[in-house]
């Protein structure tokens, strides 16, 4: 089972054999015995690549869960010998990485010197299981899934712009004024282009647009700082900029700011690994101050 998972993760028999310190022929024989015992083909192989069969995809997902539980069991019975250790694979968004996670890492490594980190940073959707991640850190609503999610903290969104932009285009004094302004949004995030406000007629939602879009929340902040337009983002992204006058909050009385939860998402099985538990508990303790 471990050999099969390594073949898939490394992209072939030869690299998997190198990782495990065996010959490619020995690795091929292990795979053949596994497929013979199961009575199905798990992989299709050509001279250039390997691909999972439908049965292989099903077996891979369960095999990863089982191997994670085996590792967790082994670490449970040896926990008294030392602190959690091993490679921790984490993925998070650009803004959260910069403003929340990375500043905490020196303290985390000081507390858990046996853990090493592989940190992926992207605002695109990732596959927690398929990308072999231990923890996915995300903000905002989560879709329904079989994954395990722990709520770490919650924040609010803010509407703001740079003084240079407001000097050039004027300051909006009513929500409707935004329709004549450049409002910068995240590409592919339809729910974030509808900005809610409270007015005389009650709650209204404005669909905004501007001169640019991006797939990165951090790039969105940088565009606002450059004076390109107005943004609506989680408060933690722009809190220091507002405190130091680089950005100015807008329409605070009218803006309806929904709660923005912060989640630590793990796959079943992997949540029991001591290094995963240590990381999530560390973040949860620090999140109280966010």
Q: Is the pLDDT of residue 168 over 90?
A: yes
User: Residues near 105 by Cβ (< 8 Å), separated by ≥ 6?
Assistant: 117
Which candidate, 213, 197, 216, places its Cα nearest to that of 97?
Answer: 216
Instruction: Please give the pLDDT value at position 144.
Output: 60
How many Å apart are CA 191 and CA 225, to the nearest integer?
A: 23
How many Å apart are CA 284 and CA 153, to the nearest integer?
A: 8
How many Å apart are CA 229 and CA 220, to the nearest integer?
A: 9
Contact 163, 249 (CB under 8 A): no
**Rounded average pLDDT over 246-271:** 90
User: For 54-94, how does the pLDDT look when each residue is reduced to its tens digit (9 = 90+)?
Assistant: 999 899 888 887 887 787 777 666 655 567 888 899 999 99
Instruction: Please give the pLDDT value at position 13.
Output: 87
Tokens 């940073």, residue? 121
Tokens 């630590």, residue? 264
User: For 104-158, how does the pLDDT look when each residue is reduced to its tens digit (9 = 90+)?
Assistant: 999 999 999 999 999 999 888 888 877 778 999 998 887 766 678 999 999 899 9
User: For 275-287, how does the pLDDT look when each residue is reduced to its tens digit (9 = 90+)?
Assistant: 999 999 999 999 9
DSSP 201-255: TEEEEEE---S-EES-HHHHHHHHHTTS-BEEEEHHHHHHHHHTTSSEE--TTTB
Q: What is the dihedral of CA 107, 265, 124, 104, to 10 degrees?
A: -10
Instruction: Please give the pLDDT value at position 78.
Output: 63
Instruction: Please give the pLDDT value at position 189.
Output: 73
Quote the pTM value: 0.72
Judged by average pLDDT, the poorest of 72-86, 169-183, 202-216 is 72-86
Q: Where are the alpha helices (DSSP H) in the chain?
A: 2-10, 13-20, 24-38, 54-77, 94-96, 105-111, 163-169, 217-225, 235-243, 274-287
Most confident of 91-95, 131-135, 158-162, 194-198: 158-162
Instruction: Please give the pLDDT value at position 99.
Output: 92
Helix 54-77 vs helix 2-10: crossing angle, to nearest 10? 120
Instruction: Please give the pLDDT value at position 270.
Output: 78
Q: Is the pLDDT of residue 27 over 80?
A: yes
User: Residues near 28 by Cβ (< 8 Å), separated by ≥ 6?
Assistant: 13
């Amino acid at each position: 089972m471990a050999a099969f998972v390594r073949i898939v993760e490394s992209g072939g028999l030869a690299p998997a054999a190198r990782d495990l310190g065996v010959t490619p022929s020995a690795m091929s024989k292990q795979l053949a015995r596994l497929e013979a015992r199961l009575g199905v083909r798990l992989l299709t192989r050509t001279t250039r690549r390997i691909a999972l069969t439908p049965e292989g995809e099903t077996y891979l997902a369960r095999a990863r869960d089982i191997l994670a539980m085996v590792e967790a069991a082994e670490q449970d019975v040896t926990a008294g010998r030392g602190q959690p250790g091993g490679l921790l694979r984490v993925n998070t968004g650009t803004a959260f990485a910069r403003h929340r996670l990375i500043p905490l890492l020196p303290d985390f490594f000081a507390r858990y010197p046996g853990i090493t980190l592989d940190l992926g940073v992207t605002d695109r959707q990732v596959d927690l299981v398929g990308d072999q991640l231990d923890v996915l850190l995300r903000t905002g609503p989560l879709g329904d899934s079989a994954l395990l999610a722990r709520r770490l903290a919650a924040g609010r969104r803010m509407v703001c712009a740079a003084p240079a932009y407001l000097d050039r285009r004027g300051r909006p004094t009513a929500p409707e004024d935004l329709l004549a302004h450049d409002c910068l949004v995240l590409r592919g995030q339809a729910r974030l282009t509808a900005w809610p406000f409270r007015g005389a007629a009650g709650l209204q939602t404005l669909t905004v647009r501007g001169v640019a879009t991006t797939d990165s929340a951090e790039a969105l902040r940088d565009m606002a700082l450059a004076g390109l337009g107005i943004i609506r983002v989680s408060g933690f992204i722009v809190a220091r900029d507002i405190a130091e006058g680089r950005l100015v909050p807008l329409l605070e009385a009218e803006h309806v700011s929904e709660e923005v939860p912060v989640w630590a998402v793990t796959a079943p099985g992997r949540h029991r690994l001591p290094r995963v538990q240590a990381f999530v508990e560390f973040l949860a303790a620090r999140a109280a101050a966010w």
